[in-house]
Amino acid sequence: MAHFPKPSEGSWTEHYPELGTSPVNYEDSISPEFYELERKAIFNRTWLNVGRVEQVPRAGRYFTKELQCAGTSVIIVRDKDGGVRGFHNICRHRGNKLVWSDFPNEETSGTCRQFTCKYHGWRYDLDGSLTFVQQESEFFDLDKDDYGLVPVQTEVWEGFIFVNLDSSNTTSVKEYLGEFGAGLEGYPFGEMTQVYKYRAQVGSNWKLFIDAFAEFYHAPVLHAKQATDDESRKLQGYGFEALSYVIDGPHGMVSSWGGMAPPKDPSMVKPIENVLRSGLFGPWDRPDIAGLDPLPGAVNPARSPNWGIDTFVLFPNFMLLVWAPGWYLTYHYWPTSHNSHIFEGALYFVPPKDATDRVRQELAAVTFKEYALQDGNTLEATQSMIESRAVTEFPLNDQEILLRHLHRTARGYVAEHQKSGTPVDSPVVR
């Protein structure tokens, strides 16, 4: 009983025949050896989103990003010419971590004129050049020009700051993001500067949490208690069907309907949602800013009047969710081992004009956390049972096409890396 049309092949999955339809092996999510290969083949080679330009609004503003998955830490800084630069967070003298406060393993941010190493006082300008060496005359033929900070390829796309740790990479981030990147350009991300960010330690492989957020097949069941009883029964009866799925190279997206903003029937939602006109789908009323109508081409690809949310799964670990009521959400999954990662979720709204706006956004942020806690908690149980290897292959349905694609893409990068033994520039499954 299909509610929305599927491609002529009969399914979204068969529309992309390279994906196949057979059960999927999840060894890629439980093997320590495979994770080590992913670190080399994926996290040291692809563009990784580490933040937003609003985090470095002026010259000297900086933040650090711990990239355990790639075996490094980077500094992102706004230089004196207004550019955004990235450097490995290491002093050239004897390898001390250059920028940190209190705890060397924790991320930090701030403002400075130059970076000064805590160990021996070496100083670096915002462009990375070494400007001061303590007792310079004690060194042997030291040319400061040879000891600048080690740069990391850093590019900005639509205000999102990306780094690529492969110094031989020749693909721009714009090129890497392909048709989704092009089709999202012009969305007013820069207007949405009111931020709520959450972080959680999750005891599962990084791909398992992406799996959880890349399908809505689970939503009517796992989150049944979040709706009123009548609504919950109705939702389980319908099940979930997306409006559309699109796959482009290593990336994918799912476009979904969203009847909750505002709901057709007020009795469907919680009392406070009716008073505040807000909820999981965000404040029900769109902010009055340019750029939301019409929306850029990659959004709502089915051009459905029932459209509610688009979820872009940008390989490897960045998800971007664009909501009909005019706000966006990002997810990041930073692996720390084969069966653990740090999850970050951030909500971005147009700054509130009054207390009502502000409290509406608070409700959306609180609701996000309630859902994410349920999503996150199922994962450790999944991880431990997959690790039992009692079952090794799992049937994925058509609404789980992005999971099939994600695991295939990860395996593809690893296989290509193993085959070539040398870095390649372009995504292997494009």
C-alpha–C-alpha distance, residues 209 and 427, integer Å: 22
Find out whether 258 and 240 touch, Cβ atoms under 8 Å.
Answer: no
Cα angle 208, 213, 215; round to 5: 100
Closest CA to 164 of 300, 156, 36: 156
C-alpha–C-alpha distance, residues 350 and 67, integer Å: 29
CB-nearer residue toward other proteins: 3 or 358: 358
- Closest contact distance (angstroms) between CB of 198 and other proteins is 5
CB burial string 229-246: b at 16+ within 10 A, e below: eebbeebeeeebbbbbbb
- Closest contact distance (angstroms) between CB of 193 and other proteins is 10
Burial class (CB in 10 A: 0-12, 13-18, 19+), 259: middle
- Closest contact distance (angstroms) between CB of 389 and other proteins is 23
CB-nearer residue toward other proteins: 144 or 218: 218
- Closest contact distance (angstroms) between CB of 286 and other proteins is 19
- Closest contact distance (angstroms) between CB of 352 and other proteins is 6
CB-nearer residue toward other proteins: 15 or 218: 218
If DSSP codes are grouped into helix, strand and coil, which group holds residue 334? strand
**What number of other Cβ atoms are within 10 A of residue 137's Cβ?**
6
Q: Note the residues at the interface with other proteins (CB under 8 A).
A: 194-202, 222, 225-226, 270-272, 275-276, 343-346, 352-356, 358-359, 362-363, 365-367, 369-370, 372-374, 376-378, 380
CB-nearer residue toward other proteins: 43 or 63: 63
CB-nearer residue toward other proteins: 358 or 389: 358
C-alpha–C-alpha distance, residues 332 and 344, integer Å: 5
- Closest contact distance (angstroms) between CB of 65 and other proteins is 13
CB-nearer residue toward other proteins: 239 or 352: 352
